[in-house]
Amino acid sequence: MDAALPPELGALQEALTANERDARALVDGLTEAQGTWRAEPGSWSVSQCLDHLAAGNRVYLAAMEPAATRARGEGLSRRRAALPGLLGGLFVRSLEPPVNPRLKMRAPRKIAPRAAPALVDAASAFLASHELVQRFLRTYADIDLAGTRFPNPFIRGVRFSLATGVHVLAAHERRHLWQAWNVRRAAEHPQQL
C-alpha cells in the first residue's frame, strides 16, 4: 500500500495489486494451447479474457483522463472519500464475481476480445493496461474523484464519478480474472466438462 494514499484508495491499490498477482499466477505455467483453448464456440479463452481486460482498461481510462486533467487544472482537490455513489456502487457490485448467469452482459464492441490473441500478447497487454490504471490512481488521488464526472464510454448519456470509474476497473478485472481461472481449470482438465 502507498502510505501517501487515503485509506479507501490504499485499499483499492491493494486490490489492484492482488489483481496483478492473480493475473500473473493465472498465466504462470499455462501453455499457449491451454491459454487459447475455448470450451465451446462463442466462449472465451484465457487469452481473450485478458485481451478484453486490456481493451476495457484502455477505453475506460481514455474517457476518465480528460475529466481528471480538467479537475486538476481547476484545482478541484479531494473533498471526500473516493467511493462510488449509490448507483455507481450497484454497478460495481454487479461486476463482482461470481457472475450470476442472469446478469451476464455482452462485451461492448469497443472492448470485445480479438478472435485468437496469443497468450503472451494478451497477458502483456493486460499488465501494461493494468499499470496505467494503477498510475491513474496514484496520479489523481489528490483530486475530487468522487465529485468529478466523466462520460461512460459504453452507455450514452451516463456519467459516473471518477471514484466509481476506478472501482469499476478493479471489479471488472476481478470478474474476468475469475472467468479466466474457470477457463484455465477446464483447459487443464477438458475431460471433466
Q: For the residues of 121-151, what is the DSSP string, one character each?
A: HHHHHHHHHHHHHHHHHHHTTTB-TTT-EEE
113 located within any domain: yes
Phi and psi (nearest 5°) for 176? -85, -20
Q: Average pLDDT for residues 102-127, to the nearest whole number?
A: 92
In a domain? residue 1? no
For 102, other C-beta atoms within 10 Å of its C-beta total 5
Q: Is the pLDDT of residue 135 over 80?
A: yes
Interatomic CA distance for residues 165 and 146, integer angstroms:
10
**pLDDT band with cut points at 50, 70 and 90 for residue 1:** very low
- Determine, yes or no, domain membership for 2: no
Supply the CATH number for residue 163's domain.
1.20.120.450
Q: What is the pLDDT of residues 48-77, one digit of tens each?
A: 999 999 999 999 999 999 999 999 999 999
| Structural domain count, the chain | 1
Nearest to 68 by CA among 55, 82, 54: 82
Whether residue 168 lies inside any domain: the answer is: yes
Residue 77 CA to residue 147 CA, distance in Å, equals 10
| Burial grade of 72 (CB within 10 A; 0-12, 13-18, 19 or more) | middle
Domain that holds residue 99: 7-192
Provide the pLDDT for residue 68: 98
- The pLDDT of 145-174, averaged and rounded, is 96
pLDDT for res 102: 76
Contact status, residue 182 vs residue 45, Cβ threshold 8 Å? no
pLDDT tens track for 16-40: 999 999 999 999 999 999 999 999 9
Mean pLDDT of 92-116: 88
